[in-house]
């Protein structure tokens, strides 16, 4: 019985993942001639957010962002991908995190989507958690979203086309004076 359940569960995961890939494959590329898109699929395992951070930093440097802004982007992206791995994908090894970097003449749009096994807690999107609440938490966490809002120029929490959680972050390229 256990064997059957395991097989069934594995099939369900596979079906879900396949559907997710299909939906994601329909994302149009370079629809706008001045827009360039880099897509990155990551395993849901802590540590691999580094791959997204390094890829995004490379894009941002290429666009001409200052070292400070590149660091801010790295930190915000680390938080967003970590949230996707820990919460949205609930550490499930069969799930993936999709990071899409859209390069525009005056801004970089970074979107992070998970497979939504756990919807994002609306209370977490609130402007800032209280420090007292954080201290009472075992992990002392809960500051990720606040941090993302502090670091990025625009932040939006939406539902991905696949039904997962999606965070869309925008960082503006300031004109050199």
Partner 1 sequence: MHKVSPPLSIKLSIPSEFGYERVVREAVASFARRVGVASERVEDLKTAVSEACLNAIEHGNAQMPGTRVDVNCVWENDVLMVRVLDHGLRRYAGHVAPCIACKVHGEAPPRGMGLYLIAQLVDTCGFESSPDGGNVLYMSMHTRAMA
Q: CA-based Rg of the chain, rounded to a whole angstrom?
A: 17
Query: Is residue 22 involved in binding partner 1 (CB under 8 A)?
Result: no
Q: How far is the CB of 62 from partner 1 (least distance, A)?
A: 6
Query: Is residue 36 involved in binding partner 1 (CB under 8 A)?
Result: yes
Q: How far is the CB of 135 from partner 1 (least distance, A)?
A: 32
Q: Which residue among 7, 11, 14, 30 contacts partner 1 (CB under 8 A)?
A: 30
CA angle (43, 123, 140) in 5-degree steps: 65
Query: Is residue 109 involved in binding partner 1 (CB under 8 A)?
Result: no
Q: Which residue among 9, 11, 62, 137 contacts partner 1 (CB under 8 A)?
A: 62
Q: Which residue among 13, 57, 75, 143 contacts partner 1 (CB under 8 A)?
A: 57
Q: Scan residues 65-94 and list those touching partner 1 (CB under 8 A).
A: 93
The span of 34-42, 76-84, 115-123, 140-148 binding partner 1 (CB under 8 A) equals: 34-42
Q: Which CA distances in Å does 100 have to 3, 103, 109?
A: 37, 10, 8
Instruction: Confirm if 84 and 44 have CB atoms less than 8 A apart.
Output: yes
Instruction: Give the number of other CB atoms < 10 A from CB of residue 100.
Output: 19
Distance CA 59, CA 42 (A): 17
Q: Which residue among 42, 76, 78, 110 contacts partner 1 (CB under 8 A)?
A: 42
Distance CA 50, CA 67 (A): 17
Distance CA 33, CA 11 (A): 40
Query: Is residue 14 involved in binding partner 1 (CB under 8 A)?
Result: no
The span of 47-55, 70-78, 149-157, 166-174 binding partner 1 (CB under 8 A) equals: 47-55
Distance CA 167, CA 156 (A): 6
* Residues near partner 1 (CB under 8 A): 29-30, 36-43, 45, 47-48, 50-55, 57-59, 62, 93
């Amino acid at each position: 019985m256990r064997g059957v359940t395991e097989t069934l569960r594995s099939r369900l995961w596979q079906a879900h993942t396949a559907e997710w890939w299909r939906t994601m494959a329909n994302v149009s590329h370079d629809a706008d001639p001045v827009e360039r898109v880099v897509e990155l699929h990551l395993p849901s395992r802590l540590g691999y957010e580094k791959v997204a951070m390094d890829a995004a930093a490379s894009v941002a440097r290429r666009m001409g962002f200052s070292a400070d802004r590149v660091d801010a982007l790295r930190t915000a992206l680390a938080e967003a991908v970590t949230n996707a791995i820990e919460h949205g994908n609930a550490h499930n090894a069969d799930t993936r995190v999709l990071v899409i970097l859209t390069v525009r003449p005056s801004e970089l749009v970074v979107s992070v989507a998970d497979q939504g096994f756990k919807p994002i807690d609306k209370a977490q999107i609130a402007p800032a958690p209280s420090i007292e609440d954080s201290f009472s938490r075992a992990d002392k966490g809960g500051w990720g979203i606040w941090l993302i809002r502090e670091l990025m120029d625009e932040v939006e929490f939406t539902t991905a086309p696949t039904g997962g959680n999606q965070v869309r972050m925008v960082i503006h390229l300031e004109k050199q004076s």
